[in-house]
Structure 1
Amino acid sequence: MITPITAPRGWMAADLQNDQSWAVRLSEQELADFETGLQHARHCGKSLYDLVPQDFPFGESAMQRLKSCIPATQQGRGFQMLRGFPVERWSIEDSRLFFWGLGLHLGVPRPQGKQSQFMSDVRDAGGTYRSTQGRGYNTKSALDFHADGSDIVGLMVLRTSVSGGESLIASSITAHNIMLEERPDLLQLLYEPFTFSRQGEQAAEEPPYYQAAILGNHQGHFACRHIRNHIKSAQLSFPEVPRLSEKQIEALDYFDAVLARPEVCFRMNFEAGDVQLINNHIILHSRTDYVDHEEPDRKRHLLRLWLSLPDAQPLPASWKSAYKDVDACAVRGGFRGVNITPEVESFEERMAAHHGMQFRVYQDRNEYEGAQA
């Protein structure tokens, strides 16, 4: 029997409008402490995958601020915004280096696509969102509400657009509870498997699609993983996968409609220097389309990190094909791609050890290679 989710509590848009403690403007001391760590990392002379958290010795006030983000994202409202990083006087390379160091302190970065990149540039590169291999981050299109493939998605804003590009977020807990009250028959279907495309970004040993439920509740922890664009792609690309029933389509439509309700969806404008951290398991996010600057060096540009966190919740067993591991305190998530080198894997393993996390995400690859031998 499906019951309302009460912990953590969902929120309505008015709750965030009335209490804006989710947006923290950094103090001068916090910024100075963050820059101390960046300056140290600049002079380390290490490659990206050789860097460790100790190479970014953020000062005491900065570390306290960073640590305060964890309960907010994991047990609280599910997201946090830090504002005021001086990206206007940092080079893009310095911003990348800083954001990488911030991520290393929080958890283990996860790969994000075909090229196994661990940091993505979110900017219009001429991509097509509504396509069988479409990803939203390299387009300027409006996006569906969705979850990214990690415990946390972090965005660092370097430049904003002329207009549009609003960040939209909604509590999947709130949407779940509304749907339970209004259409429990449709909600039940979201707890059953759907087929998702990997959007052509699978590793050699991975099938091009997988099955997972959109909703789950494991060991008392609610989780939502909604990526409708990937469900649509699976329907278009793979005639052998089960066809969506009319009821399944109605359930997806209803869920999307609830998420988009003005009282459910919270809208915010980004500022250059923002860092937004979102818990993918209890928050779904989206974006409006945008009009960009003509000049290349002024175009909208964000950096994106996907992170696996040591204190993140356990996940539903049906998500293992997507995440490779579903246990708490285990490295999981990401789009593996085709360029996981021994250097990269060694980096991941060292970071897992640093955070005290299990590291089993390549077990299926080892099984595949054994079968090929």
Structure 2
Amino acid sequence: MTPWMEPITDASAWTAEDLKRDESWKFTLTDDHRSDLDKALKQVNQSELQFGEIKREDFSLPSLQETLQNMLNEIRNGRGFAMLSGFPSGDYDFPDLEKLYWGLCTHLGIGVTQNSEAGLIHYITAGQLSPQNGARILGNPRPSALHVDLSDCASLFCVRQAADNPLSTIASSMTVYNEILRQHPEYLPRLYEGFIWNRIETYPNETPFSNFKVPAFSVANGVVTCRFHPGWIRGGLKKAEQELTDEENEIFDFIAETAIANRFAYPLNNGDIIFCNNYTVFHGKEGHAETDDESQKRVLLRIWLDLPNVRPFTDEGKVRYGVVRHGKMGWTADDLLAGNHLTPHRRREDSAPEVF
């Protein structure tokens, strides 16, 4: 089969200058929006619901519907990135912030677990809340290289930013694809072939790495999807006692350099929530200063979302779910309530997750 060799011309292929020039990816909560959020919170508290029990119908946000629909369209069909500002981060305790954040996200997609504790909300912090991270400790002050998370969409809610206000970064993986096509089209067949990925915190009968390759780029119905994370790929190869070839290292270096050259840096302030489409956008952050003062430590909350009608896939089991459904990762709140996460994900004969 002849590999796809057409450039991406839609809004998902952007540069930093594009985002500076057109800020329609920014959304801001109004007083009416915050009032609806507070009313919805009071209702779920009156019903004594825990955040994972909250469904969209439990969390009515009438004044926010148009904004949320526009955000969802931007995430799925636009730049793949949206920021919502003005969330009431300083007005509530953490249990209520979890309910507010989760309730908002139920209007965009379905939250899935992201760590060994089957956690639906992940605390990214070096502070006392870090034990809620599971086995993967996140939130240290070091810079975070541009990367993707494992769900359809990664959302980060800035509850408390570090005192030195580190910038966050994003880059379009679709722009990276275009630069590969323009400068090194010979790389694309290898990227379409894909790589095995690491697995962590697996069940005993699950392999420690995917024994199938996940395409780094794939194309379905003319829509390009990126599934590329050097750390997860290298981790899988190490467990399989394999190494990248010189050519593959060259490809990885080119992708990293191109993403950095086209990245957009922006401030992430208290009350900001970002949403990144992991199939079209890399995200990261600059480093920040350490502090021993618990009240000054950086705290972000993270939710991984499955999005409805996110895009077509060449193989949904491998490309969409192949990197996230293992161990206690990739389960929905309904799965947790039913106890489904206590047994391994169902798999096809080729060991890719079943799609249901």
TM over 0.5: yes
Please give the residue correspondences for 1:111-122 in structure 2 after superposition, counting only pairs within 5 Å.
111-122=113-124
Other-structure match for 2:108: 106
Other-structure match for 1:123: 125
Please give the residue correspondences for 1:284-303 in structure 2 after superposition, counting only pairs within 5 Å.
284-303=282-301
Q: 1:166 to 1:364 in 2, by over 3 A?
A: same
Q: Indicate the SS of the match to 1:345.
A: helix
Q: 1:175 to 1:105 in 2, by over 3 A?
A: same
Which of 5, 20, 26 is 2:29 aligned to?
26
| Range moving further from structure 2, 164-173 or 117-126 | 117-126
Cα drift, residue 94 of structure 1 = 1.1
Other-structure match for 2:252: 252
Letter in 1 for 2:327: G
| Range moving further from structure 2, 170-179 or 7-16 | 7-16
Cα drift, residue 176 of structure 1 = 0.7
Other-structure match for 2:354: none
1:14-51 per-position Cα deviation (integer Å, ceiling 9, x unaligned):
01111222222222122212222122122110234432
Please give the residue correspondences for 1:128-139 in structure 2 after superposition, counting only pairs within 5 Å.
135=136, 137-139=138-140
Does residue 175 of structure 1 match 2:176? yes
Cα drift, residue 162 of structure 1 = 2.1
Letter in 1 for 2:90: E
Letter in 2 for 1:226: F
Other-structure match for 2:274: 276
CA distance in structure 1 between the aligned counterparts of 2:304 and 2:285, rounded to whole angstroms: 18
Does residue 153 of structure 1 match 2:136? no
Letter in 2 for 1:10: A
Which of 304, 320, 323 is 2:317 aligned to?
320
Letter in 2 for 1:145: L
Does the Cα contact within 8 Å between 1:110 and 1:307 map onto a contact in 2? yes
Letter in 2 for 1:161: A
Q: Once the two structures are aligned, what percentage of the paired residues are identical?
A: 25
Does the Cα contact within 8 Å between 1:49 and 1:343 map onto a contact in 2? yes
CA distance in structure 2 between the aligned counterparts of 1:191 and 1:24, rounded to whole angstroms: 35
CA distance in structure 2 between the aligned counterparts of 1:10 and 1:170, rounded to whole angstroms: 9
Letter in 1 for 2:294: P
Cα drift, residue 284 of structure 1 = 0.9
Does the Cα contact within 8 Å between 1:197 and 1:233 map onto a contact in 2? yes
1:174-225 per-position Cα deviation (integer Å, ceiling 9, x unaligned):
1110121111112332222212211x22234421111312111122221101
Does residue 142 of structure 1 match 2:143? yes
Q: Indicate the SS of the match to 2:171.
A: strand
Letter in 2 for 1:178: E
Letter in 1 for 2:265: R
Does the Cα contact within 8 Å between 1:122 and 1:304 map onto a contact in 2? yes
CA distance in structure 2 between the aligned counterparts of 1:169 and 1:146, rounded to whole angstroms: 9
CA distance in structure 2 between the aligned counterparts of 1:289 and 1:316, rounded to whole angstroms: 37
Does residue 6 of structure 1 match 2:9? yes
Q: 1:301 to 1:107 in 2, by over 3 A?
A: same
Q: 1:83 to 1:258 in 2, by over 3 A?
A: same
Cα drift, residue 72 of structure 1 = 0.7
Does the Cα contact within 8 Å between 1:115 and 1:337 map onto a contact in 2? no
CA distance in structure 1 between the aligned counterparts of 2:40 and 2:276, rounded to whole angstroms: 24
Q: 1:207 to 1:116 in 2, by over 3 A?
A: same
Cα drift, residue 306 of structure 1 = 0.5
CA distance in structure 2 between the aligned counterparts of 1:73 and 1:190, rounded to whole angstroms: 24
Tell me how large the CA RMSD over aligned residues is.
Answer: 2.9
CA distance in structure 1 between the aligned counterparts of 2:214 and 2:266, rounded to whole angstroms: 31
1:327-357 per-position Cα deviation (integer Å, ceiling 9, x unaligned):
xxxxxx74543489998516589xxxxxxxx
Does the Cα contact within 8 Å between 1:30 and 1:62 map onto a contact in 2? yes
Structure-1-length-normalised TM-score:
0.82
Q: Indicate the SS of the match to 2:114.
A: coil
Does the Cα contact within 8 Å between 2:158 and 2:301 map onto a contact in 1? yes
CA distance in structure 2 between the aligned counterparts of 1:280 and 1:299, rounded to whole angstroms: 27
CA distance in structure 1 between the aligned counterparts of 2:289 and 2:253, rounded to whole angstroms: 28
Letter in 2 for 1:40: Q
Letter in 1 for 2:57: Q
Structure-2-length-normalised TM-score:
0.86
Which of 95, 98, 114 is 1:96 aligned to?
98
Letter in 1 for 2:187: L
CA distance in structure 1 between the aligned counterparts of 2:20 and 2:329, rounded to whole angstroms: 43
CA distance in structure 2 between the aligned counterparts of 1:52 and 1:119, rounded to whole angstroms: 15
Other-structure match for 2:131: none
Does the Cα contact within 8 Å between 1:11 and 1:174 map onto a contact in 2? yes
Cα drift, residue 84 of structure 1 = 0.7
Does the Cα contact within 8 Å between 2:151 and 2:305 map onto a contact in 1? yes
Other-structure match for 2:80: 78
Other-structure match for 2:237: 235
| Range moving further from structure 2, 202-211 or 272-281 | 202-211
Does residue 345 of structure 1 match 2:346? no
Does residue 363 of structure 1 match 2:353? no
Q: Indicate the SS of the match to 1:163.
A: coil
Could you tell me which runs of 5 or more consecutive residues in structure 2 were left unpaired when the two chains were aligned. Answer: 129-133, 352-356
CA distance in structure 2 between the aligned counterparts of 1:194 and 1:50, rounded to whole angstroms: 37
Q: 1:254 to 1:272 in 2, by over 3 A?
A: same
Could you tell me which runs of 5 or more consecutive residues in structure 1 were left unpaired when the two chains were aligned. Answer: 127-132, 326-332, 350-360, 369-373
Does the Cα contact within 8 Å between 2:127 and 2:294 map onto a contact in 1? no
Aligned length: 338
Cα drift, residue 253 of structure 1 = 0.5
CA distance in structure 2 between the aligned counterparts of 1:253 and 1:97, rounded to whole angstroms: 41
CA distance in structure 2 between the aligned counterparts of 1:183 and 1:339, rounded to whole angstroms: 35
Q: 1:338 to 1:79 in 2, by over 3 A?
A: closer
